[in-house]
Amino acid sequence: MRYKNSKRGVALFITLMILFLLSIVTVVVLLTAYNYANVTENQIKRMRAITLAEAGIHYAYFKLRTDPAYSTTYIDEASADTINPDESGYNVLIWIDSSSGRDAIKSKVVY
């Protein structure tokens, strides 16, 4: 009789250990999926910011061709032309930087 009872205890212990290991694997898989979603979301934000910054530079080229006063109006980041393309929280700052002796169009996206 004593021999049968000890087998039952071992079976219960093994079952609980397997359940515990499966729980840990489940938590790891869920955390990995959550982190992957965050990384993907950050990559999308980064790509959108790069695209908007490039669009800001093209906008500045357009404004320079059509409005000669544009190059003297927005001369540093503090006085930058601010564009909010789709009211999604992204702001594109555009200014003309002449600090190096040559005019350079600078563009920065804030989100």
pLDDT of residue 6 exceeding 80, the answer is no
How many Å apart are CA 89 and CA 77, to the nearest integer? 18
Rounded mean pLDDT of the chain?
Answer: 85
pLDDT confidence of residue 7 = 65
pLDDT confidence of residue 1 = 47
Q: What is the mean pLDDT of residues 16-43?
A: 94
pTM of the model: 0.64
* pLDDT band of 47, cuts 50, 70, 90: very high
Residue among 68, 79, 74, 78 nearest 96 (CA): 74
Q: Which residues have C-beta within 8 Å of that of residue 60, sequence separation ≥ 6?
A: 70, 81, 94, 96, 105, 107
Domain ranges of the chain: 2-110
Taking only the tens place, the pLDDT of each residue in 50-96 is 999 998 889 888 888 888 777 777 888 888 888 887 777 888 888 88
Distances (CA, A) of 48 to 29, 35, 96, 98: 29, 20, 22, 27
Residues of the chain above pLDDT 70, percent: 93
